[in-house]
Amino acid sequence: MRRFALIALPYAWLLALFLVPFIIVLKISLSDYAVSIPPYTPLLDLSAGWEGVKRFFSQLDFDNFLFLTTDDLYWKAYLSSLKIAVIATILTLLVGFPIAYGMAKAEESWRPMLLMLVILPFWTSFLIRVYSWMGILSQDGYLNQLLLGLGLISEPLRILNTNAAVYIGIVYTYLPFMVLPIYATLEKLDSSLLEAAEDLGCSRTSAFWLVTIPLSIPGIVAGCFLVFIPTIGEFVIPSLLGGSETLMIGKVLWDEFFSNRDWPLASAVAVILLLILVIPIVLFQRNEQKQREAEG
């Protein structure tokens, strides 16, 4: 019973906050658009009992999903979101790994303070942090004023309302999600392995690439997932920092829900986005399980 209670709690959480909302969104995606409140006509009528279920399957169609293939706006938004999410994840990794490595190599008395500095941005509202970058990256913002004052540029740079501003905002916002898993992995790394590698003739650089990097892969993978998954559906950062050329599926999803009020089509967009995220995670977990079974 104790084991069942321990397992039941996370499964109940997933059921209440993931599976049930997904089923609701999936049901709306299979509905028809209607000018009403709510703005859709559900095909599944559970109040009619088994007859309602049979009527649902007889009228079932995937017109909303098929429409996504006819308009290039949606598949371009998916591809653009994938590209931005991948590039932003790589940039976050390049910035976050040295920070995590430095934290793990610091003296133990300094680590709690360094960890607090990484977590400190979470004490401020996410929206306020993104808004602050608008003041920093604008043409008369602090960054251009600094560069002009140092004589590095002759005229203000256009950074705000570009993809570069989106990458800056994403890296800044999701950096702790990359640093913390890598730091947790590097902190547990046995230093005697590095000493053994150096005793066998490896330089510090070679020992870093041959020992530290392979052993930190679990933290790197966890950090990349924690950054990539929310980034691909990001809406606030591209809306505030990106321009009209920044196309992401989160913005398209917002427009369909709140501007066009086409809930069935917006739900279909959300279902496809969720499948794009879930399928690679499931395949990765199965691959990791097979590797563990092979090693065992």
Pick the CATH number of 72-261 from 1.10.10.10, 1.10.3720.10, 3.40.50.300, 3.30.2180.10: 1.10.3720.10
Contact call for residues 249 and 77 (beta carbons, < 8 A): yes
- Residue in the block written with tokens 């000493």: 195
Q: Are strands 32-33 and 40-41 parallel, antiparallel or unpaired?
A: antiparallel
Distance CA 258, CA 273 (A): 18
Spell out the per-residue pLDDT of the chain, length 296, in tens. Answer: 777 777 888 888 888 888 888 888 888 888 888 877 888 877 776 666 677 677 777 777 788 888 888 888 899 999 999 999 999 999 999 999 999 999 998 988 898 899 999 998 888 888 889 989 998 998 888 898 998 998 888 888 888 989 999 999 999 999 999 999 999 999 988 888 888 888 888 888 888 888 899 999 989 998 999 999 999 989 899 989 987 778 899 889 988 888 888 889 999 999 999 888 887 778 777 777 777 777 66
- pTM for the full model? 0.85
Residue 177's SS3 state is: helix
Between helix 163-187 and helix 217-232 the angle, nearest 10°, is 150
Distance CA 151, CA 105 (A): 37
